[in-house]
Amino acid sequence: MTAGSGYRQARWEEPPIWDLARRPVAEPAPAIPGVPERWRRQEALRWPELSEPVVVRHYTRLSQMNFGIDSGTYPLGSCTMKYNPKLSEVVARRAGAAQVHPYQPEATVQGSLEITWRLERALAKITGLPEVSLQPAAGAHGEYAALLMVRAYFRDRGELGRRTEVLLPDTAHGTNPASASMAGFAPREISSKDGCVHLSELKGALSDRTACFMLTNPNTAGLFESEIVEIAEAVHAAGAMLYYDGANLNAILGVTNPGRMGFDVAHLNLHKTFATPHGGGGPGAGVLASGETLAPYLPVPRVVKTGRRFRLDYDRPKSIGKLKTAYGNFGLDVRAYAFLLAHGEEGLRRISRRAVLNANYLGARLGRRLPRPFRPLVKHECVLSGTPLRERGVRTLDLAKRLLDEGVHAPTVYFPTIVEESLMLELPETESKRELDEFAAAVERALDDTPENLRAAPISCAVGRIDEVRAARAPILSWKDLRGAAAKVETP
Ligand SMILES: *Cc1c(COP(=O)(O)O)cnc(C)c1O
């Protein structure tokens, strides 16, 4: 026997190492008594014949075709795409948090209820609004719930027939008017002046038909509505409710809060401000925080503490009812609670200070290249306009696509809608000055590129420029096997 002769044993006919395919898993189904024969699978299932490494590479490659907060900077204005600390992941994945069943008896989930209760108390302090529910699954869900609460309140007062309007500024996020209509109100837009609410216009629009005014502060132009006290007074003088869209809370954490500003009810997005995973459609975690007036209408169940025990309380006769199975997206609540404990009160103030510094630094640097439509001092995000690109026959959209070739995510574009060719930048506190400089340099390189390259971008991504109209009008939402000669994409 010579050294290495054992190699002769290997044969191509043998399955490769880690072969998943040739397992006897695909037999025709056995007969089941009482089930008609024609329902029985007659042929073996056609499993794909692939080895484990091939499958792993396929899914790894798919994951790399996407962009996430762990792949690079993500300046998506209004979305507060901050780093999600792995510490929160470790905590949320512990069995006590990850393996509980939503309908376990209360006595066996005291720890989960305590986390919920403690997080609610912390958020009450942060918002300055005393009653909190973690039930909504996202910000928009919270908006909708709050407007149902406003509806129930006016129904109780016998004013619902009359109070049919919800006012909102023209800078409002699209979910605000959508939630208002879904809750049965007529949304009505107020125009802004220099990016902020025009107080006299608001006063002109307020009447005994107004149910609610929805506002975010700082607003989507990144500007603090400094007339907020007068705004709250005017809204309340008209007998209406003031709603706080809390998506921009990152700018004011520990500095001020919606309760102090005079808001009656608010939503927060744990998946924005409190560093829980965000994007790709969820799961998100909205939060409802309410002042005394609307608190009786909060969804049930509420988590209450009696002595040292925690329980779910359904006995709230004025409640709008239950919004979601179980009690919100608990895994995200655990992550947010871990995040709050890790930072503490002073840490939260540092977060907002740093987020504001970042936005102003980015605004000042890129403001040398692109016009800034509003006053330069902003809170957590800044808005620029891509109108000068038009001279070279390109648009903000082309710039956004070109940035993808730089390996960064594009900013929010064409929102807020009151700015022509708008770009909205937000790199939150988790990004260092070095990251800000690298991002700004990427924007500058993109601006200096040729119109041809800008219009052709992206060229380095898994997917090139898509037909956005077709993607919206004729989306392909389920997998179809398009291999073979007639690989045509069907459009409905
Ligand atoms: C993100 C956002 C919302 C909606 O929140 P979702 O959690 O995405 O439903 C509402 N208003 C503003 C200003 C936002 O940025």
For 384-415, what is each residue's pLDDT tens digit? 999 999 999 999 999 999 999 999 999 999 99
Ligand 1 near 175 CB (within 6 A): yes
The confidence score (pLDDT) of residue 492 equals 41
216 lines ligand 1 (CB under 6 A): yes
CATH of the domain at 279: 3.40.640.10
Nearest-atom index, ligand 1, CA of 172: 13
Domain-located, residue 400: no
Q: Which atom of ligand 1 is nearest to the CA of 284?
A: 7
Give Rg (Cα) of the chain.
Answer: 27
Is residue 228 domain-resident? yes
Give the C-alpha distances (Å, rounded to integers) separating 126 from 224, 268, 272: 18, 11, 15
Q: Is residue 253 part of a domain?
A: yes
Residue 88 confidence (pLDDT): 95
220 lines ligand 1 (CB under 6 A): yes
How many domains does the chain contain in total?
1
pTM greater than 0.85: yes
Report in angstroms the alpha-carbon separations of 484 from 46, 48, 488.
Answer: 17, 16, 9
Using the mean position of ligand 1's atoms as its centre, give its distance from the Cα of residue 62 in Å: 27
Residue 98 lies in a domain: yes
Q: Which among 269, 272, 329, 426 is the best mutation to test ligand 1's pocket, defined by most ligand atoms within 8 Å of the CB?
A: 269
Residue 235 lies in a domain: yes
| CA of residue 51 to ligand 1 center, whole Å | 43
Tell me the CA–centroid distance for residue 139 and ligand 1, in Å: 5
Report d(CA 423, CA 110) in Å as an integer. 46
Q: Is residue 155 part of a domain?
A: yes
Ranges of the chain whose pLDDT falls below 50? 24, 485-492
The residue whose C-alpha atom lies closest to atom 15 belonging to ligand 1 is 78
Say how many Å lie between the CA of residue 136 and the centre of ligand 1.
13
Residue 202 domain flag: yes
Considering all CA atoms of the chain, what is the largest pairwise distance in Å, rounded to the nearest integer?
Answer: 100
pLDDT for res 282: 66
Check if 78 has its Cβ closer than 6 Å to any atom of ligand 1.
Answer: yes
Domain span including residue 258: 86-342
Task: Report CA 239 to chain centroid distance, whole Å.
Answer: 32
Q: What beta strand segments (E) does 134-249 contain?
A: 165-169, 186-190, 192-193, 196-197, 210-215, 241-245
Q: Is 219 in the pocket of ligand 1 (CB under 6 A)?
A: no
Position 160 in a domain = yes
Ligand 1 near 134 CB (within 6 A) = no
Q: What is the DSSP track for 28-46?
A: PPPP-TTS-GGGS--S---
**pLDDT at site 31:** 80
* Residue among 374, 385, 359 at smallest CA distance from 440: 359
Q: Is the CB of 192 under 6 A from ligand 1?
A: no
Nearest CA owner, ligand 1 atom 8: 139
